[in-house]
Structure 1
């Protein structure tokens, strides 16, 4: 699979047709985020030699939040960097096939968050998380902080389940995989939309079926397009936690056909998200939310709906899923064709 399959979604799905905007001050972010990641020990050596160093998380942050305060965008980029560093740790030995090891790592992380400080000599992931949590949570309510912690626990459980599947050689069925992938593709990142924007969603809105459909649909699109980009690298190491691989096993088709099936599902899921968004005004009316709560919902909805295309553009310019140290000309040419 290559970038042309991934970018074909923009031709098939109207909401993905227009390229994402870029924060006008994004040029400042690269050095800031790279310096932070190096200083915290998340990136070691030449950035171009590691998937995390090549990821360019600041570019994704600047595309998801093209109009937000630059300091908040920088914080989100650091969270993205941390989440990908955690992902790299969980996807490789010794944690890749040990559910108990995943839980042990997360126990250390969650305890550090609750203490408010990392242990002496703690691994970089722990120290960086405490720093990010302190910078993010101070302005948020107890309800939001609890929600964020629950999302971290959901991520822990999803990654532990993946680890067990790898150990026993189990390939999830498609229906089971979509729910599992939603947990294992850091769900807590979506909760960070609120502190970046300086708003907070009404808890009763989050419990409605319409909101859950919107949030889950966007999360699925991001996860599945990411699976298309990472398929070849994950297949090479025998990891079946990838939507094309799951569909190929379930339907007895080759990787090319499975990739086309994923693109079809992406188109359907985008429509689910937009249909849910169109129903939100009536829902807000029924919930009797005040003006501030309605405004907060509108801002978060816009970011959610813009995220799939922002993520698609980031995949085209990021080097995270390249096997070498530089982005291929195919990836750059495909991105240029969208401009």
Structure 2
């Protein structure tokens, strides 16, 4: 194949992220899969279709092809199955919401985004959906009811606050789409964290049956760990979803932001994103190392230290679990595709073997 054809066929997708497993020691070991991941998939599909979140043949929609049970089963490989399923349902709900507000007409109207979130938040706070409510509202209330038993008022306020932050981030993205404005390089990370469903991180606690001490959440080490993990997940997702988002003209992608800021071609911008991901993984590891001193300083009880350690472990495991999920999910690929275009592999030599090797571990 000539060099010119190779350049034309360069496509940003998850295969570009596989180098991180060699470059970053913290991403080197494959994630562990919950032993009940396969039956969990059947249960999640039945629930998603019964609730109207996935319509028709699951293979015909990005949401149906996503296999969120695999992500949940990798983040929580030893948790109780019903808790893993609860997280998988929340993932399905969050990405269904994402799909609804990314596309026109909602995707270009901050007013419409605000109105949708207002209905969702009101339903959650009053504890029931309106008669004849749309699936997002009805399932949001159902999931909230299944999640909050045993969780403190402080946790509930925190979750709803992060849902409000998500609302603000999605509304800001809608304004950018309407104005045709690419986010600034310095502004993008914080915007991306708000728009990437920050409430999902709160769900680690009810899934594990623990709750973080409030004093720990105010420490610099916790902020470094949480924000770094959020950035790693979001930016890896940006690489995987770039082709889909650029095709519909959505500028909320780290590859697009870097290309706009520096005048990069797509391959160079994608390379820089991957370099940034590697650096942020280092920040996450540093935050985790700092946390030991904070735990000592705060004089937490043995139970609080144990709860904190379990949540931190889930956060540290999440980037590799997410990367493994991206390689097996069909969310960012057309139905029936195998990372190819017109029958020709999009992976450079060696990458398909590595992708197949990852798949063989599941």
Question: Residue 325 of structure 1: CA displacement?
Answer: 3.8
Query: Is the contact made by 1:214 and 1:273 (CA closer than 8 Å) also made in structure 2?
Result: yes
After superposition, the C-alpha distances for 1:141-168 in whole angstroms (9 at most, x for unaligned) are 0000000000000000000000000101
Question: Residue 323 of structure 1: CA displacement?
Answer: 2.3
Query: 2:287 matched to 1:267?
Result: no
Query: 2:151 matched to 1:140?
Result: yes
Question: Residue 337 of structure 1: CA displacement?
Answer: 2.7
Scaled by the length of structure 1, what TM-score is found? 0.98
CA distance in 1, matches of 2:54, 2:147: 22
SS where residue 108 of structure 2 aligns?
coil
Q: 2:85 is matched with which residue? A: 74
After superposition, the C-alpha distances for 1:26-58 in whole angstroms (9 at most, x for unaligned) are 111011000000010000000000000000000
CA distance in 1, matches of 2:353, 2:58: 23
Q: 2:117 is matched with which residue? A: 106
CA distance in 1, matches of 2:258, 2:138: 38
Q: 1:120 is matched with which residue? A: 131
Q: Which has the larger radius of gyration?
A: 2
CA distance in 2, matches of 1:334, 1:255: 23
Q: 1:155 is matched with which residue? A: 166
CA distance in 1, matches of 2:299, 2:203: 25
Query: 2:262 matched to 1:242?
Result: no
Question: Residue 271 of structure 1: CA displacement?
Answer: 0.3
Q: 2:218 is matched with which residue? A: 207
RMSD: 1.2
Q: 1:336 is matched with which residue? A: 356
Query: Is the contact made by 2:228 and 2:283 (CA closer than 8 Å) also made in structure 1?
Result: yes
Q: 1:129 is matched with which residue? A: 140
Q: Which of these residues, 30, 34, 38, is aligned with residue 19 of structure 1?
A: 30
Q: How many residues align?
A: 339
Query: Is the contact made by 2:15 and 2:355 (CA closer than 8 Å) also made in structure 1?
Result: no
CA distance in 2, matches of 1:168, 1:2: 27
Query: Is the contact made by 2:13 and 2:242 (CA closer than 8 Å) also made in structure 1?
Result: no
Question: Residue 9 of structure 1: CA displacement?
Answer: 1.3
Q: Which of these residues, 157, 162, 165, is aligned with residue 176 of structure 2?
A: 165
Cα distance change, pair 98–149 in 1 and its aligned pair in 2 (3 A): same
Query: Is the contact made by 1:49 and 1:325 (CA closer than 8 Å) also made in structure 2?
Result: no
CA distance in 2, matches of 1:325, 1:85: 21
After superposition, the C-alpha distances for 1:218-249 in whole angstroms (9 at most, x for unaligned) are 00000000000000110011111000000000
CA distance in 1, matches of 2:203, 2:253: 25
CA distance in 2, matches of 1:312, 1:260: 16
Q: Which of these residues, 203, 217, 227, is aligned with residue 216 of structure 1?
A: 227
CA distance in 2, matches of 1:334, 1:47: 27
SS where residue 52 of structure 1 aligns?
coil
Query: Is the contact made by 1:4 and 1:334 (CA closer than 8 Å) also made in structure 2?
Result: no
Question: Residue 197 of structure 1: CA displacement?
Answer: 0.2
Question: Residue 138 of structure 1: CA displacement?
Answer: 1.5
Q: 1:308 is matched with which residue? A: 319
CA distance in 2, matches of 1:13, 1:76: 27
CA distance in 1, matches of 2:338, 2:144: 32
Q: Which of these residues, 266, 269, 287, is aligned with residue 276 of structure 1?
A: 287
Scaled by the length of structure 2, what TM-score is found? 0.92
Query: Is the contact made by 1:23 and 1:65 (CA closer than 8 Å) also made in structure 2?
Result: yes
Cα distance change, pair 125–258 in 1 and its aligned pair in 2 (3 A): same
Query: Is the contact made by 2:235 and 2:273 (CA closer than 8 Å) also made in structure 1?
Result: yes
Query: Is the contact made by 1:83 and 1:186 (CA closer than 8 Å) also made in structure 2?
Result: yes
Q: 2:205 is matched with which residue? A: 194
Unaligned runs of 5+ in 2: 1-11
Unaligned runs of 5+ in 1: none
Query: Is the contact made by 1:21 and 1:66 (CA closer than 8 Å) also made in structure 2?
Result: yes
CA distance in 2, matches of 1:328, 1:268: 27
